[in-house]
Amino acid sequence: MLVASRHGAHPRRRRAGGNGVADELALPLAGGLALLLAFVTAAAVLSGGDRREEGDRRRPDLPGGAAGPRVAIFSAPLHPPDGSPARQELAVRSWLALPGNVSVVLLAAHPSAHALAGRLGGRVTVDAAIDISFTGTPFFHSIVARAQAADSDICVLVDAEIILLPETITLLKHFSRSDLDWFVFSASRNISAFPYHLVDNGTQWADEHGKQVSFKKENQSDKWAGHGSDRGLIVAWNNPSTRMVAGVMPSFLNGRGVHNWWLIHEVLSSETRLVFDASNLVLGLYPENFSEKRGTSTSRNVSNPDGSWEYDVNRHLAAVYGSYCYELPRRNSPMVYKVVKQFEDYMFSKNEGPNLSNSVINKEQNVHPEGGSLCEKEISYSSAVNLPHSLEMLLELVADKNRSVVLAVAGASYRDMLMSWVCRLRRLRVTNFVVCALDQETYEFSVLQGMPVSRDTLSPNNVSFDDCHFGTQCFQQVTKVKSRIVLKILRLGYNVLLSDVDVYWFHNPVSFLHSLGPGTFAAQSDEFNQTGPINMPRRLNSGFYYARSDDATITAMEMIVKHATNSGLSEQPSFYDILCGKDGANRIGDDRCLEPSTNLTVVFLSRDMFPNGAYGGLWEKKHGVSSACRELGCVIIHNNWVNGRRKKLHRQMASGLWDYDPGSRLCLQNWSNASRFSVQTDDPVSYDS
């Protein structure tokens, strides 16, 4: 279990200038931000002065031509029917109407996000390079990591349908005058109607009669009711590249509850930043109750159950990881400072009582209206995290238009390699894959990492962590599971591309393999000789093959499974002996076989396009395997012909053909900080308590 350090790095201090030490509960911020630091014995108050950010610059294309901190607003809009394009456009227009240097980044891959950005101009960009689960729900830790990689002074995270008011920028400008690291949050307000629209090229609000409004008089904290929903929170922080939490963020599903409150609590308990609660101010409005949208799914159809299970995943993560469900010590506990406004001056006061008693914990009950404590329920809840999807439901959900699916089978020893394989497929926009987990540990890991995963209950229970490579008894047992699962899926009417997780994909091969036509079984050749036939005895690799759901293939697979069951070897020799005959009796030419009883044609794939781990010494090329494969025209490359899990992991990581950072549990993106990821030769990172 990851528990945040109680002695993390303190916020960066600016040089004291005769401000002294104070214990006042309320201090004015007029003329600049006064910040209160509560350390071991005293609270030091530092005024922000009138210093301007080094990056401040005036831009004539911004509303009012105002200068100020560079503010980047990040949001992950849902696509219809779960998101409202009209509300999203109104919200984003309100962000662009904020005075100052504001830009917007929409984190989404669906066409509606690109269409919205296209209508709103150059200050709105779309970035699809974030981690997304198989349901289409983005991961919150990936969104936060993307924001922290931003070239801006201040980052803001907000739901895509929340209207931001000018008070937001006014407050952030005050905070930006400080050198300290800070984090501020605010609950948006519910309104039954929003009778305002933007005029003057989107820079000024007007009411239904066309009268301009400033929201200064209208913006009264008691006019609209605050909403404690996690989704209704607005969070912002400065110095994006500076660390926010002491531990690693778990893989929360964005918009599925708890994650914003968890982040606030973890930032506070990590003591890396000063934390401010601006919920007394009206920074954002939402024209509908968030609670009415709870339980919706991002990919609703007959095969996808109600999305409420995603909320269960988030509650589980919040209870298990970090300090969210653990009482912080009263003595020297970190403080949340409330921000209020009197006339034109901001003031703040520190909460009395331990940790978040007045800011977060009380609001937690509003997030869970069914009653009871999230923490009490989850800590006492010992059952594993499960998907409500059967294998049949997953296949229906992910299969492509040709009813083809990609299958990976993996256990705990190859968990990180499985995740790198999944990250690569996500980057290639391959969504028609399913994972079969050989053990409960891998199943739960896969669920929390957003994979469409099914647990094979008939898998062997004694799968070795380090001794399950080619030639071992464990390897023989595991490979026989793969052919049995493939046969099951074929019988359900789906074509299957079986890909081991040590197969790196440069391109998506499914369309090419499907184009070989019915009555064809395509497999990788394991022949290592540069010249000569590639269909020699025992040279069919059962770690990468495409099988169609037709009578000939199903019959042949049934014979393979039966042969492998009665064999003391792995399944791989059974594939060759059944399909190509003993000693290659059914070979045709140099790259084919013909199974006589089914008339099934077996195609051994070109090694230039589908090389194995020994072909051409590609993994050992001085200029790199990636460059060598690019010249050769590789579609995939298999990381086999290497003995042992550790050597296999090291070779793939060192080559650069690796797409997962185990330390952050994130797929590597073009914005990722590659310097923080290094080649690992020891065991994969453990995520368990």
- Domain residue extents for the chain: 71-290+309-324, 394-663
Task: Select the highest-mean-pLDDT range: 177-181, 209-213, 603-607.
Answer: 603-607
> What is the three-class DSSP state of 304?
strand
107 pLDDT more than 80: yes
What digits encode the pLDDT tens for the residues 120-130? 988 999 999 99
Residue 46 predicted with pLDDT over 90 = no
pTM of the model: 0.84
Does the pLDDT of residue 473 top 90, yes or no?
no
- Reported as type and span, the H/E element at residue 207 is strand 204-207
Domain 71-290+309-324: CATH class, spelled out = alpha beta
For residues 353-379, give the mean pLDDT.
Answer: 46
pLDDT, tens digit (0-9, with 9 covering 90-100), for 291-338: 444 444 444 343 444 558 899 899 899 988 888 887 666 556 678 888
What is the mean pLDDT of the segment spanning 238-244?
91
Of the candidates 429, 113, 418, 137, the one whose C-alpha atom is nearest the C-alpha of residue 304 is 137
147: Cβ contacts below 8 Å, ≥ 6 apart? 72, 74, 155, 157, 240
pLDDT confidence of residue 479 = 63
Please indicate whether the domains covering 71-290+309-324 and 394-663 agree at the CATH topology level.
yes
Cβ-Cβ contacts under 8 Å for 10 (sequence gap 6 or more): 37, 39, 271, 272
- Going by the DSSP 8-state scheme, the letter that residue 361 receives in this structure is I
pLDDT, position 477: 61
Residue 677 reports pLDDT greater than 80: no
Q: Give 253's DSSP letter.
A: B
* Greatest mean pLDDT range, 209-213, 357-361, 490-494, 672-676: 490-494
Question: Helices 259-270 and 308-320, interaxial angle, to 10°?
Answer: 10
What percent of the chain clears pLDDT 70, i.e. is strictly above it? 74
Sheet with 284-286, edge to edge strand ranges: 163-164, 284-286, 189-190, 225-226
* DSSP string of 41-55, one letter each residue: S-EEEEE-TTPPPTT
The H or E element that residue 105 is part of is strand 101-106
d(CA 50, CA 688): 48
CATH topology of domain 394-663: Spore Coat Polysaccharide Biosynthesis Protein SpsA; Chain A (3.90.550)
Q: Which two tokens stand for residue 323?
A: 């300090």
Rg (CA), the chain: 29
